[in-house]
Amino acid sequence: MRDMVPADVDAVFAIEQAVQAYPWTRGNFADALNNGYFCRVDEAGGEIRGYAVLMPVMDEAELLNIGVAADQQRRGLGRAMLLEMLDLARGKNMIRVFLEVRASNTAALALYRSAGFVEIGLRRGYYRNAGGGGDAITMACRLKGEIDGQA
Ligand SMILES: CC(C)(COP(=O)(O)OP(=O)(O)OC[C@H]1O[C@@H](n2cnc3c(N)ncnc32)[C@H](O)[C@@H]1OP(=O)(O)O)[C@@H](O)C(=O)NCCC(=O)NCCS
């Protein structure tokens, strides 16, 4: 994986549109880059296969987006990218990574659970604005230490 640069946004957006039910816009990716979020792409043979965006907030972070090209899914790429983003956060001394996932997104839920995320909340109707409706599950992954067994 390498850092995403503005020239990658078209290719990333093409994947996003193909694989996400409610895709980010080009502008969302451009904003993430401009805001200094951790934006990474997986590239092989000059082709972008996947991407992930992590927003740092003090000593915590929020995984805002992760996607793998449709013809590259189910080969371990999503897990490898997710684990790399967690390593990146760990390397920046972050304590926890959060994320919101659509309750109906069984593939993503299974991926996150397998990487050590646990469910810490349910937000009903979270995706009602431009998200087509549906509940969100909030998940957290603790990167270091334990506080009373909490995630
Ligand atoms: C979620 C996503 C990133 C997973 O990427 P991937 O490269 O296919 O995932 P991996 O091959 O690394 O699989 C990791 C685990 O995820 C789960 N998983 C992935 N695809 C799955 C599917 N279609 N059904 C059920 N579980 C699935 C499995 O637990 C899998 O582990 P296993 O292969 O050992 O059983 C990919 O499906 C995707 O881009 N989806 C659309 C975008 C999206 O929903 N992003 C998350 C919300 S922002």
pLDDT digits 0-9 by tens, 39-69: 999 999 999 999 999 999 999 999 999 999 9
Q: Which CATH number fits domain 2-142: 3.90.79.10, 3.40.50.720, 1.10.3720.10, 3.40.630.30?
A: 3.40.630.30
pLDDT digits (tens, 9 = 90+) for 99-128: 999 999 999 999 999 999 999 999 998 887
Dihedral in degrees, nearest 10, Cα atoms 82, 38, 41, 122: 40
Residue 144: predicted pLDDT? 79
State residue 85's pLDDT score: 97
CA of 94 to the centre of ligand 1 (A): 25
Q: How, if at all, do strands 136-142 and 96-102 pair?
A: antiparallel
Residues 15-48 pLDDT 10s = 999 999 889 999 999 999 999 999 999 999 999 9
Domains of the chain, residue spans? 2-142
Q: Residue 3 phi/psi, 5° resolution?
A: -65, 145
Query: Which residue's C-alpha comes closest to atom 12 of ligand 1?
Result: 76
Measure the CA–CA gap between 40 and 65, rounded to whole angstroms. Answer: 10
Residue 15 near residue 47, CB atoms below 8 Å = no
- Around Cβ 129, how many Cβ atoms within 10 Å? 8
Instruction: Quote the pTM value.
Output: 0.94
CB of 78 sitting under 6 A from ligand 1: yes
Q: How many CB atoms lie within 10 A of CB 120?
A: 13
Give the catalytic positions in this structure: 100, 112
- Which amino acid, one-letter code, is at 119? E
Which of 117, 81, 79, 88 lies closest to 100, judged by CA? 117
Asked if residue 107 has its Cβ within 6 Å of ligand 1, the reply is yes
